[in-house]
Amino acid sequence: MKKLKITALFLLLIISFSCKKEVENDAKKTQIESSIKYAKGFDIVNNNGIKKLIIKAAYQNSDKVFEYIIKSKKDQKENTKNTIFTPIQKIVVTSTTHIPMVELLNEETAIIGFPYSKYVSSEKTRLLIDADKIAEIGKEGALNTEILLNLQPELIVGYSVSTADKSLTTLEKAGINVIYNGDWLEETPLGRAEWIKFFGVLFDKEKQADSIFKVIETNYLEAKNSALKATKKPTILSGAIMSKDIWNLPAGESFVAQFLKDANLRYLWEESEGKGSLSLSFESVFDKGRNADFWIAPGYFSSKEQLLNSNKIYTEFNAFKNDNIYTPTTKKGKTGGVIYYELAPTRPDLVLKDMIKITNPDLLPNYELTFFERMK
Quick check: 198 and 42 in contact, CB under 8 A?
yes
Model pLDDT, residue 142: 82
Sequence-ordered list of residues with C-beta below 8 angstroms from that of 243, at least 6 positions apart, any chain? none
Model pLDDT, residue 11: 46
- Side chain identity, residue 248: N
Judging by DSSP bridges, how do beta strands 266-267 and 294-296 pair with one another? unpaired
Can you list the pairs that 333-337 forms with residues at least 24 positions away whose Cβ atoms lie under 8 Å?
A: 333/119, 333/120, 333/121, 333/122, 333/123, 333/126, 334/121, 334/123, 334/126, 335/118, 335/119, 335/120, 335/121, 335/126, 336/118, 336/119, 337/96, 337/118, 337/119, 337/120, 337/121
Q: What is the largest CA-CA distance in the chain?
A: 102
Q: How far apart are CA 327 and CA 312, in angstroms?
A: 19
pLDDT tens-digit profile of 107-165?
A: 999 999 999 999 899 999 999 999 999 999 998 778 899 999 999 999 999 988 767 77
As a whole number, mean pLDDT of residues 353-372 equals: 98
Find, among 92, 275, 69, 67, the residue nearest to 191 by Cα. 275
Find, among 299, 322, 293, 221, the residue nearest to 263 by Cα. 221
Dihedral pair phi/psi, residue 43, rounded to 5°: -150, 155
pTM: 0.89
Looking at per-residue pLDDT, the higher value among 348 and 25 belongs to 348
For the chain, percent of residues with pLDDT exceeding 70: 91
* Count of positions (residues) in the chain: 376
Domains assigned to the chain: 33-216 (3.40.50.1980), 228-374 (3.40.50.1980)
Model pLDDT, residue 13: 45
For the chain, percent of residues with pLDDT exceeding 90: 77
Model pLDDT, residue 31: 58
Quick check: 253 and 282 in contact, CB under 8 A?
no
User: Is residue 208's pLDDT more than 70?
Assistant: yes
Average pLDDT of every residue of the chain: 90
β-sheet bridge partners, residue 46: 33, 51
User: Is residue 30's pLDDT more than 70?
Assistant: no
Alpha-carbon torsion angle 77, 79, 83, 89, nearest 10: 90
Quick check: 317 and 289 in contact, CB under 8 A?
yes
